[in-house]
Amino acid sequence: MDMEGRLAAIRSRIEAACRRSGRQPEEVTIIAVTKYTSLETAEAVLAAGLTNIGENRWQDVKPKWEAIGDRAVWHFIGSLQTNKVKDVIGKFPYIHSLDRLSLAEELNRKAKALGLAPVECFIQLNVSGEESKHGLGPEGLDEFAGQLAELPYIHVTGLMTMAPLEGGSDSARPVFRRLRELRDQLNAKRILPYAIHDLSMGMSGDFETAVEEGATYIRLGTVLVGSQS
C-alpha cells in the first residue's frame, strides 16, 4: 500500500474511534513520525496532505529540516538533553518531552535571547510508572506546572505520555485515561494562568484507544510510513 492508501486507512480508523467516543475527527491531529526514514518519505507524507512531522534526534532530522523548513510544522518528540536545546530552538515549535525544570529554564533562556515566541511544550508524564520510560511522575505535576508558570517563554500546550509497550489496549487505556484526568485536575486547580487542552498520546499500536480517551495529537510512525526507509 502507498502512503495515500495507508493514510486513508488510518483516517477511517480514527473516524471509527471518534464515532465510538462521541468525538469529531477534526479534534485529532496526526503527527507523522518520520524518524529513521529518508527525506523522500518525509516528502511523501507532506504530499499525502499531512503537515505535522515528529522527529526525535536533531542529527538525524537536520537534512530533512533543512530541505523542508516551514512547509511542515515540526514536533520534537524525543528526550531532549539540555545541551541540545540550541539545535532545536526556533526550528521545532512544539516540544513534546518537557520533563524537568533545567530543560524548561534552558528553553526559556534561549527563546528569550533569540527573541522568539514562547515555546509550545507538552509536559511528558510517566503515567505507567515503568522505569524504562522518560517523563515526570504524575505526583510532581502540580509543582512543575507552578514553576513553568513563572517562565514567560514557555507555554504549556498540554500533556504527553507513552503507554506501556506490552499489553495492548488493555494496559494503554488506563494510562491514557489518567493523562486526561491529570489535565482536567490541573485546569481545575488553576496552577497555570491558562487552561490547557491538548493530549499527545497514542502511537501505531494504540492510537484508536488514545482517540477514544481524548487524544488531540497522535504520533504515528510505522503504521504510516510502513517499511519505507
Ligand X SMILES: *Cc1c(COP(=O)(O)O)cnc(C)c1O
**Contacts to ligand X from residues 58-77, by CB under 6 A:** 77
**Closer by beta carbon to ligand X, 55 or else 106:** 55
Q: What is d(CA 24, CA 137) in angstroms, rounded to the nearest whole number?
A: 30
C-beta separation of 121 from 85 below 8 A: no
203 binds ligand X (CB under 6 A): yes
Does residue 79 interact with ligand X by CB under 6 A? no
Nearest alpha carbon to residue 188 among 150, 180, 28: 180
CB of 94 to ligand X, least distance (A): 12
The answer to whether 99 touches 154, Cβ cutoff 8 Å, is no
Task: Name the residue nearer to ligand X (CB basis): 119 or 224.
Answer: 224
Count, residues near ligand X per rule CB under 6 A: 13
Residue with smaller CB distance to ligand X, 97 or 108: 97
3 state SS of 120 = strand
Q: Which is nearer to ligand X, 77 or 119 (CB)?
A: 77
Residues 148-187 vs ligand X: string with x where CB under 6 A? --------------x-------------------------
Q: Which of 94, 199, 197, 114 is nearest to 154 (CA)?
A: 94
Q: Pick from 11, 35, 91, 133: which binds ligand X (CB under 6 A)?
A: 35
Choosing from 14, 32, 33, 89, the residue that interacts with ligand X (CB under 6 A) is 33
Min dist CB 32 to ligand X, Å, is: 9
Q: Which three cell numbers stand for residue 72?
A: 511542515
Helix count and strand count (H, E) for the chain: 9, 8
Is 99 strand, coil or helix? coil
Determine if residue 172 is left, alpha or beta; phi over 0 gives left, psi from -120 to 50 gives alpha, anything else beta.
alpha
For ligand X, the closer CB: 55 or 153: 55
Q: How far, in Å, CA of 57 to CA of 187, rounded?
A: 31
Instruction: Report d(CA 174, CA 212) in Å as an integer.
Output: 12
Stretch that binds ligand X, among 13-21, 101-109, 112-120, 216-224 (CB under 6 A): 216-224
204 counts as binding ligand X under rule CB under 6 A: yes
CA distance 220 to 129: 23
Is there binding between residue 219 and ligand X (CB under 6 A)? yes
Which residue lies nearest ligand X, judged by its C-beta? 221
Residues of this chain that bind ligand X (CB under 6 A): 33, 35, 56, 77, 162, 203-205, 219-223
